[in-house]
Amino acid sequence: MSNDLLIADLAGKARNASITLRGSSIESRRAAIHAIAGALESNVDEILAANQEDMNRERSAGLSESLLDRLELTNKRITGIVESNRKVASLPDPLGRILKSGTLPNGLKQNLVTVPFGVVGMIYEARPNVTIDASVILLMSGNAALLRGSATARYSNEILVKVMKNALTKTSISPEVIQLIQSDDRDTVRALLHARGKVDLVIPRGSASLIRKVVDEALVPTIETGAGVCHVYIDQYANLERAIPIIVNSKTHRPSVCNAAETLLVHSAISDDFLAKALHELSSRGVKLNCDAQSLKVAKRNKIAASMASSESWGTEYGTLEMNIAFVSNVDEAIEHINKFGTQHTEAIVSEDEPTIERFISLSDCAAVMVNTSTRFTDGEEMGFGAEIGISNQKLHARGPMGLEAMTTTTWIVRGEGQIRE
Amino acid sequence: MSNDLLIADLAGKARNASITLRGSSIESRRAAIHAIAGALESNVDEILAANQEDMNRERSAGLSESLLDRLELTNKRITGIVESNRKVASLPDPLGRILKSGTLPNGLKQNLVTVPFGVVGMIYEARPNVTIDASVILLMSGNAALLRGSATARYSNEILVKVMKNALTKTSISPEVIQLIQSDDRDTVRALLHARGKVDLVIPRGSASLIRKVVDEALVPTIETGAGVCHVYIDQYANLERAIPIIVNSKTHRPSVCNAAETLLVHSAISDDFLAKALHELSSRGVKLNCDAQSLKVAKRNKIAASMASSESWGTEYGTLEMNIAFVSNVDEAIEHINKFGTQHTEAIVSEDEPTIERFISLSDCAAVMVNTSTRFTDGEEMGFGAEIGISNQKLHARGPMGLEAMTTTTWIVRGEGQIRE
């Protein structure tokens, strides 16, 4: 079967299942998620065995340790996933929420209500936890899931989908709401991105090159996730005691994720002593420092290892313990730098001066502005969403962390008594 | 200059202007719109003269009467446009609205607030009124406008943009917030659709072929507008007195627009007398009828002119006085037909039976469901938005009529006192 036919077939099954799913009660969706969670627990040995096969094969093939870490499932990780699934089931129903309501002068009553997208495709890399998380979040929001995981996790994904579908057979929700694209062929990604009218939305989660491919090729609606070149700006009116933990946390707490900071901007009125202390804290945690000319002098004077930043440094998402440092002469220059090199993800300011904070907020064009706190807080769990299917890096539809609500669209329901337009 | 450079240049000017626009007060945006409205009134003679040049040239070139009608500006039309501009200025500020607000367990205070997109491109056909309406709606919502109108309206667009920019020079808003792409070259459309990172959103308004081109070529985020194959379903429990005016209004009130109905579905339990009366009312208003076998019999028996529908009829957006007629055996079959041939725009049901209505609503996957009223009410003005920049035909971001709110995105503002992630 050609990949276009394969996708059409799976999307068709998902579509049929989605039609009954959109009419299902919240109780039945919750029961289905609990059934899935229970089945994952009961089948943990089989799941871990399949995952070990993937791990062994990929380790032999030379997959990097950081990717192997993403691929690996453990008892503890499965427990965490299952707990988070049950938390999703406990959240309020995202469907049927009335967002707007009113009666028009002609007597028409109109409500804007939330409804599911229908069929949502996911394209993602190694991590098999996405197979479960996405299925559960999409099920809770009334959407059928069309999953295109990576060949790296093929056995893991197969067993997880088998366990979840099997669990659904004992519920009132059709197992067909979860569809796995079981093919290593990269062309299935293209076919999915071209499945116009068959798939309502595709969300890519993974590397910058995957996101770029999706943007270039997609004929279906997509939500970009991902790239984060985030900045921390230390203003002249900063509380310097607070500033250093915020810098260190933003960079080093989990450098591989998109809300980690890549660049530190420091107001030039701030003492060199502060910068020296900040650089020392970073350097002592293994952070490689790429400095502008002025901050490099401070580093050298204080015998802190640092290099000159290159022209590429400022726009690079390192994802590792590496950070750019620059002086700026005021908040406007900080914003100018951010608008030039940032990716409109998360920008932090440390300042006690309200007008400066307001100016930073009003000129920042990004998903989240952090005032006197770490960039790491742009996160669905931290923000209280209870679940996260990804962090949108676009302005359309959803911006920043996406939970259940982001997986819904709307319908106007207009009720009349025979009104017509004059 | 290549078209890519041309677009980069105009988008750059728009971007710079948008940065100050996003920080502007609602008072200054309102004053700017009033200045534009006043200037349009003062320059009406010059505007009409330029429009007449376009009309004369296009009439000689053989443009159809319906397109000439769209192209034409008159004193009355300008008055209407200016009135609608002033109405936009009177609407609540769409920016800075707090959509969500909360304090997290760690003490972080977070608000989700509305902010502008930045630079919004418009690609549209003959209608010069879009040049004004789009500029004003985008200005009110804090966005710079990058306008790519049609060569058909070139003099009209040039004078309108000149008058609007000139008006802005006397206000605190930069005239650079409006940029006209003055080129007939079709390749400027491609360049605009490829201007990734330079344009935040592009909205096409026009024919199905334009929308298709946008979907195929765009690398920038877009909102599809337009295609409407809308249905009216007359249920067995319909109030038949109400049904006929709803059918006639949905089809004939303004057949060229996307919310006009193309297909009438009738429950097979309804008497042939009702259908005969409905077909007579349509036929007597010049509606060409394309019937399924059973409804064709009714037409013939009652000596009403009608043809057999072809396989293409059901999915065609006529935009003219032409309508498809079919019998269905129940609401589920009606929905099945709609899901097969509809474009997820507007679907109407005429019924007095609440469970049937609920089933129709829950299974319809469209922007608007009309219960006992005309499909023509899917309209920003009618729905009380006060302005409409287009009707979204997609599920992402905005669905159905788009007013000021749809031209905003969001930013999370998170305020802390030094919190970091543990």
Over the stretch A101-149, which tens digit does the pLDDT of each residue have? 999 999 999 999 999 999 999 999 889 999 999 999 999 999 999 999 9
Select from B108, B414, B422 the residue whose CB has the most chain A CBs within 10 Å, as the one to mutate to test that interface: B414
Which chain A residues are within 8 Å of B410, Cβ to Cβ? 399-400
**Could A382 and B339 be called an inter-chain contact, meaning their C-beta atoms sit closer than 8 Å?**
no
| Helices (H), ranges, A61-120 | 65-71, 75-90
Indicate whether A349 pLDDT > 90. Answer: yes
Q: Which of A383, A327, A338, A392 is nearest to A365 (CA)?
A: A338
Q: How far is CA A114 from CA A14, A146, A189, A413, in A?
A: 20, 21, 29, 10
List every span in chain B annotated with CATH 3.40.605.10: 3-225+393-415
Distance between CA A286 and CA B366 in Å, rounded? 54
Q: Which chain A residues are closer than 8 Å to B239 by Cβ?
A: 418
What is the C-alpha to C-alpha distance for residues B105 and A377, in angstroms, rounded to an integer? 13
Q: Which regions in chain B score pLDDT beneath 50?
A: none
State how far the Cα of B327 lies from the Cα of B295, in Å rounded to an integer: 7
Residue A1 pLDDT grade (very low, low, confident, very high; cuts 50, 70, 90): low
Residues of A within 8 A of B366 (CB-CB) are 411
Dist CA B327 CA B265 (whole Å): 6
Average pLDDT over residues A32-48: 98
The model's pTM is: 0.93
Q: How far is CA A274 from the centre of its chain?
A: 34
Tokens 């099954």, located at residue: A13
| CB B178, CB B147: distance < 8 Å | yes
What angle is formed at CA A86 by the lines to CA A82 and CA A88, rounded to 5 degrees? 115
A207 pLDDT tier (thresholds 50, 70, 90) = confident
Identify the pLDDT of residue B208: 80
Range A3-225+393-415 has CATH code 3.40.605.10: yes
pLDDT tens column, B191-212: 999 999 999 999 998 888 888 8
> How many Å separate Cα B409 from the centre of its chain?
19
* Average pLDDT taken over every residue of chain A: 95
pLDDT of residue A320: 92
| The token pair that represents B271 in the structure block | 């008497």
Residue of A108, A198, A331 to mutate for B, most B C-beta atoms under 10 A: A108
User: B300-318 burial by CB neighbour count: b if 16+ within 10 A, else e?
Assistant: eebebebeebeeebbebbb
Min CA distance, B114 vs chain A (Å)? 11
Residues of A in contact with B221 (CB under 8 A): 394-396
Q: CA angle B130-B369-B309, nearest 5°?
A: 85
Does residue A97 surpass a pLDDT of 90? yes
The answer to whether ipTM exceeds 0.85 is yes
Residue-wise pLDDT tens digits, A276-328: 999 999 999 999 999 999 999 999 999 999 999 999 999 999 989 999 999 99
Q: How many CB atoms neighbour CB A368 within 10 A? A: 28
What's the confidence (pLDDT) of residue B163?
98
Contact residues, chain A, for B223 at CB < 8 Å: 396
Partners of B110 on chain A (C-beta within 8 Å) are: 383
Element (H, E) at A121: strand A119-124
CB contact under 8 A, B371 and A415: yes
Average pLDDT over residues A58-87: 94
Q: What is the pLDDT of residues A363-396, one digit of tens each?
A: 999 999 999 999 999 999 899 888 899 999 899 9
pLDDT of A210: 87
* CATH 3.40.309.10 domain residues, chain A: 230-377
pLDDT digits (tens, 9 = 90+) for B112-135: 999 999 999 999 988 999 999 999
A158: alpha, beta or left, given left = phi > 0 and alpha = psi -120 to 50?
A: alpha
Number of CB pairs, chain A paired with chain B, less than 8 A apart: 194
Q: Which amino acid is at A208?
A: A
Please name the residues between 101 and 160 in chain A that touch chain B, using a CB distance below 8 Å.
102, 104, 108, 110, 115, 117-118
- pLDDT (0 to 100) of residue B236: 97
* Average pLDDT of the segment spanning A189-200: 95
Q: Categorize the per-residue pLDDT at A185 as very low, low, confident or very high, splitting at 50, 70 and 90.
A: confident
Give the H or E element holding residue A98. Answer: strand A98-103
User: If we measure between CA atoms, which residue out of A216, A185, A219, A181 comes closest to residue A202?
Assistant: A219
Q: Which of B314, B296, B294, B313 is nearest to B305 (CA)?
A: B296
What is the pairing mode between strands B144-148 and B400-402?
A: unpaired
Which of 3.40.50.1820, 3.40.50.720, 3.40.309.10, 1.10.10.10 would CATH assign to domain A230-377? 3.40.309.10
Per cent of chain A over pLDDT 90 is 88
